[in-house]
Chain A
């Protein structure tokens, strides 16, 4: 079956990503059914996760924006975390169809482009039109090219940061495993757990900041 998927051009990362998407979707559908006021079991755990994410992003974006963009930033966090941790599963990179999707620049770029587009949409929506881009000319007009470059570089930095970290981490673990197969890889795996979480956090945190900035800029200008 995996070979068939390979034959149609799907990489291991794409297969893993699909599996993650399917598993998360099933989990969400199962957890979201028959919700009760007094939670129990799975509902309890998922509620804690959703509320935790909402509170975390509320501290950055404010409650209203966090609620509005939680599907994007929350999903980014969960998806990147799952992608990163899929690379820690036994046999990841060795078994057919199992590889961390974030190990591919295409995956990280796809998410970064999504974030870039959503940031523009959020800014335009908040400014009620293309006057959102007037903020590039603030505080002085001649820095507009720099501001534009900064805006355009964001998706590049987001995607390369995540891709580079995960790739570097996996490469380092692989090299250490070949050099000293006992002991050191365990330490690297432990570090990878931490790094996987940090990378997911950084990506979603930066997304939240970008979205927050896009909305805040337009709000301030609207007041002026």
Chain B
């Protein structure tokens, strides 16, 4: 019956060995190297994609950093201008205040000087009037006996002498 079905142990073993050899050869020379190269390529592509993604991320980060720096530069510029302006305003205000102080001091000084001059003039005048009074009194006393009404003349003379500066000591 086995013969009738065409079953042959020898043939069966031959096919078994034949197939085993084919599996071994293909596993070693076909599947192993090709799967390895496919894996290597997949890995390389993955690495390249990762690298490209990382490069994109770095580029984005740099772009963000530049954008931030530009924004900072603008705001810093505005800050510098604002500070310079406020400083200039403060200086101007200080100068004006100083000028005002100095002007008011000068005015005060001038007023004091004027007061002092006025005082001095008043004192001088008092002295002169006193001298005049003493002189007039002495002249009147000198010529009293005459009683000829020359007191007015004496006074006039004294005033004249004073105006001519003869009494300036």
Residues of chain A touching chain B, judged by Cβ–Cβ distance below 8 Å, are 9-11, 13-14, 17-18, 21, 24-25, 28-29, 31-32, 35-37, 39, 46-47, 50-51, 54, 67, 70-72, 74-75, 78-79, 101, 104-107, 109-111, 113-114
Contacts and interface: CB of A to CB of B under 8 A. Distances in A.
A109 B26 CA distance: 21
A70 B41 contact: no
Contacts of A47: 34, 37-38
Contacts of B34: 31-32, 35, 46-47, 50
B11 to A, nearest CB: 4
24 contacts: A14-B11, A14-B18, A21-B18, A25-B25, A25-B26, A25-B29, A31-B34, A32-B34, A36-B37, A37-B44, A39-B37, A47-B34, A50-B34, A50-B35, A50-B38, A71-B23, A71-B31, A78-B26, A79-B22, A106-B11, A107-B11, A110-B13, A110-B16, A114-B16
Interface of B: 5-8, 10-16, 18-23, 25-27, 29-31, 33-35, 37-38, 40-41, 44
A79 B30 CA distance: 14
Contact of B6 (A21, A67, A105): A105
Contacts of A10: 14
Most chain B CB neighbours (cut-off 10 Å) among A17, A75, A114: A75
A106 to B, nearest CB: 4
Nearest to A37: B41
Contacts, number: 107
A153 to B, nearest CB: 17
B6 A71 contact: no
Contacts of A104: 6, 11, 15
Contacts of A74: 26, 31
B13 to A, nearest CB: 8
Nearest to B34: A50
A71 B27 contact: yes
A4 to B, nearest CB: 16
Nearest to A10: B14
A39 B44 CA distance: 14
Contact of B16 (A24, A67, A113): A113
Given A25-B26, A104-B15, 20 more contacts: A17-B14, A17-B18, A18-B18, A21-B18, A21-B21, A21-B22, A24-B25, A32-B33, A32-B34, A46-B34, A50-B30, A50-B34, A67-B35, A74-B31, A75-B26, A79-B19, A105-B7, A107-B11, A111-B15, A114-B19
Contacts of A79: 19, 22
Nearest to A31: B30
Contacts of B21: 21, 25
